[in-house]
Structure 1
């Protein structure tokens, strides 16, 4: 391991944009498939978004038991600790697990309990982001929002909005996000990935977004850049994901440096680690190698990740102190 990788592993950070099922280790997925006598889904073998989605479904199809999910939560926390994370907000769309695990809140209870155990074992705090799937009926969106509201303070920290923003715009989910009005839950929709800057604007104005997952296409409209900056909305950016799924043609054309230069709040994340062959640590290293961000800039990404998270105040404070110590050592 190179010294600069070790240094970034010691930088305290929060991982804010990652899908729970995609945190599975490929070796663990191999075991699950082998137990069923199934071919192992090779998660990086896709050439289009449709093939990517099919591989994700194949992976979920071998996640069948409560013990498997508990193992995944524990390994997720172990890996997060190795990457320097003090806090992680994995996103989960509960209906994915109805077939094998059971009702949504039974799955959620399992995940929350496993998360508590994993925190004790690893020291990494876990706050769950419950997702709404844009492709599903509005009644289901409302129910997921109500579950999130019921579980506030019991392990759930945020409500998200996933899938194709180009076909299912934010305003269609205004009522669902209205279900969490008056709560302390963060509002964290995907936007500005498959659709342009207006999708980000609508997510802020119609849904009250605190953070935007991706958000990179905000750069297409200076007025929306101004809105994001004025509202203090954090963009949870995933550089490798954006290239792999075609949101940008290449890293050289990724707008991250422009977003930083515009004074926007940015966190760095992995999105779908097992599919994209990355993790939050490698994404920080990518920011150093591909974009030339120095230690001060990388530390600011880490600070923002903690400050924009739902982590308890003591976790944030310890993380920020650790970032200052990391910079002092680097100097």
Structure 2
């Protein structure tokens, strides 16, 4: 659901739950077509997660997952709000969690997935260059990271590009990239059978195509 449309109208700055409740109704109706959760998108500035607590709580009670955007255009406070008030099952972006190490420890302990989009973060000027991006810091802190492309039609990137980027910029090995791929599958809401199938395919590809040496080569050094 779009954040800022709830803070406009006749009372600018005051939260109006009308649209959120309508989105919840559509989300509940959409479950028979594969709908699995509630999202919260858009610029976080001036539109914090806390006012959406009731609608997300209703959604959770009805079996929907909580999958808000947080920690992109606002800092760690936004992620804390998503965790505490929206009972987030995973966080879209969440990269600015790194600004609060207590939050990083919380995310790592609970293994809340962060859907990180490195190229998008640079294009939107969250960080001046990729070498200043906290991707590796979050990963080495034990946070459950998945790689994502965000908006390929706007950014001109692909999911494969994101894997290539983190390998080159942060010195990851093929084993690391396979780990991120597995994270994505395990963090998804696919059926247990589908997850097992895709995880098996990754393991088979790894076994049949890579030697032990190839798996551990730092890809940034191979160019």
User: What TM-score do the two structures reach when normalised by structure 1?
Assistant: 0.59
Report the CA distance between 1:256 and its aligned residue.
Answer: 0.3
Which residue of structure 1 lines up, in the alignment, with residue 27 of structure 2? 148
Report the CA distance between 1:191 and its aligned residue.
Answer: 0.6
Work out the CA distance in 1 between the residues paired with 2:155 and 2:206: 29
Q: What is the aligned residue count?
A: 200
2:77 counterpart of 1:198: yes
Which residue of structure 2 lines up, in the alignment, with residue 327 of structure 1? 206
Dislocated runs of 4+, deviation >4 Å: none
Work out the CA distance in 1 between the residues paired with 2:68 and 2:151: 16
Work out the CA distance in 1 between the residues paired with 2:63 and 2:171: 37
Work out the CA distance in 2 between the residues paired with 1:151 and 1:303: 27
Report the CA distance between 1:142 and its aligned residue.
Answer: 1.4
Work out the CA distance in 1 between the residues paired with 2:37 and 2:176: 27
Structure 1 segment 113-132 matched on structure 2, within 5 A: 132=1
Which residue of structure 2 lines up, in the alignment, with residue 164 of structure 1? 43
> 1:78-121: per-residue Cα shift (whole Å, max 9, x none)?
xxxxxxxxxxxxxxxxxxxxxxxxxxxxxxxxxxxxxxxxxxxx
Work out the CA distance in 1 between the residues paired with 2:183 and 2:64: 18
SS at 2:92 equivalent: strand
2:118 counterpart of 1:249: no
Q: 1:221 aligns with which of 75, 91, 100?
A: 100
Which residue of structure 1 lines up, in the alignment, with residue 140 of structure 2? 261
Structure 1 segment 78-157 matched on structure 2, within 5 A: 132-137=1-6, 138-157=17-36
Work out the CA distance in 1 between the residues paired with 2:156 and 2:30: 32
Q: Specify which structure has the bigger relative contact order, considering alpha-carbon pairs within 8 angstroms and separated by 6 or more residues.
A: 1
> 1:170-207: per-residue Cα shift (whole Å, max 9, x none)?
10111121221223322111111111111111101100
> 1:294-315: per-residue Cα shift (whole Å, max 9, x none)?
1111111111111111111111
Report the CA distance between 1:288 and its aligned residue.
Answer: 1.2
Q: Give structure 2 stretches of 5+ with no counterpart.
A: 7-16, 212-223
User: What TM-score do the two structures reach when normalised by structure 2?
Assistant: 0.86
Q: 1:274 aligns with which of 126, 148, 153?
A: 153
Report the CA distance between 1:150 and its aligned residue.
Answer: 2.3
Q: Give structure 1 stretches of 5+ with no counterpart.
A: 1-131
Which residue of structure 2 lines up, in the alignment, with residue 93 of structure 1? none
> 1:126-151: per-residue Cα shift (whole Å, max 9, x none)?
xxxxxx11011321011102211222
Name the one with the larger strand percent.
1
Alignment RMSD (CA, Å) = 1.2
Report the CA distance between 1:291 and its aligned residue.
Answer: 1.5
Q: Report if the CA contact (8 A) 1:166-1:195 is conserved.
A: yes
Q: Report if the CA contact (8 A) 2:72-2:95 is conserved.
A: yes
> 1:231-251: per-residue Cα shift (whole Å, max 9, x none)?
221000000000000111110
Which residue of structure 2 lines up, in the alignment, with residue 43 of structure 1? none
